[in-house]
Amino acid sequence: MKAIIIQGSSRNNGNTHKVSVELQKHLNCDIINLKDKNIGHYDYEYNNQDDDFPALIEKIANEYDLIIFASPVYWYTMSGLTKVFFDRISDTIRISKDVGRKLRGKKMAALSCGYGSDAIEGFFLPFQKSADYLGIEYVGNIHTWVQTDSLDDEVKGIIKEFAERIKE
C-alpha cells in the first residue's frame, strides 16, 4: 500500500514535521508540505486552476492508496492550510470529476499535533465526515504532542501502534 502524509503545518520543520517523520519511518511513505504549495482558497468560478492544487490532487489520486493528513492544532481545529486543501477537494466533485472518482475506495487517516497531550474534542469529525462523503474509507486517527526538541517515548509508541493499524 502506497501512502502519503499531507503535512499542514505553517512551518516545514516544526512539531507536526517531527511526528510526520516518525510515522514515515514505520510506513516508508512520502510526505508533502502544503506550505510549499501555492494553493488558493476555493473559488466558485474556479479561476484558480493554474495553481498547484490540480496537479497535486491528480498525483494523489493516481499514485497513493492511503492519504494521511497531519495537521497541527491551531485554534482547536485543523490548520488553515489543511482546511483550504479540503475546500479545494470540492473542485474534484464539480469540475475534475474523473479525479474525484479515483479518490473513491482509497483510505484516509488523520493525525493532530498539539502542545498538550489532550486531544481536542471533535477535531477529527471533519476528516471522518469528508472521507465518508468522498467514498473514502476512514481508517483512524491519533493525537500527538511535542513539548521538547525530541519526541516523548509515549508519542513514539502511539505513532508506532497507529502505523501498524493503518497499514493493514
Ligand X SMILES: Cc1cc2nc3c(=O)[nH]c(=O)nc-3n(C[C@H](O)[C@H](O)[C@H](O)COP(=O)(O)O)c2cc1C
Q: Which residues bind ligand X (CB under 6 A)?
A: 9-11, 14-16, 72-76, 113-116, 146
Question: CA triplet 34, 2, 130: central angle to 5 degrees?
Answer: 55
Cβ atoms of 4 and 66 within 8 Å: the answer is yes
Rounded to whole angstroms, the Cα distance separating 119 from 19 reads 15
Task: Kindly state the smallest distance separating residue 93's Cβ from ligand X, in Å.
Answer: 29
Task: Kindly state the smallest distance separating residue 72's Cβ from ligand X, in Å.
Answer: 3
C-alpha cell at 95: 469540475
Between 109 and 113, name the residue whose CB sits nearer to ligand X.
113
Between 70 and 136, name the residue whose CB sits nearer to ligand X.
70
Between 92 and 112, name the residue whose CB sits nearer to ligand X.
112
Rounded to whole angstroms, the Cα distance separating 112 from 123 reads 8
Task: Kindly state the smallest distance separating residue 157's Cβ from ligand X, in Å.
Answer: 18
Between 61 and 155, name the residue whose CB sits nearer to ligand X.
155
Task: Kindly state the smallest distance separating residue 24's Cβ from ligand X, in Å.
Answer: 15
Question: CA triplet 62, 123, 45: central angle to 5 degrees?
Answer: 50
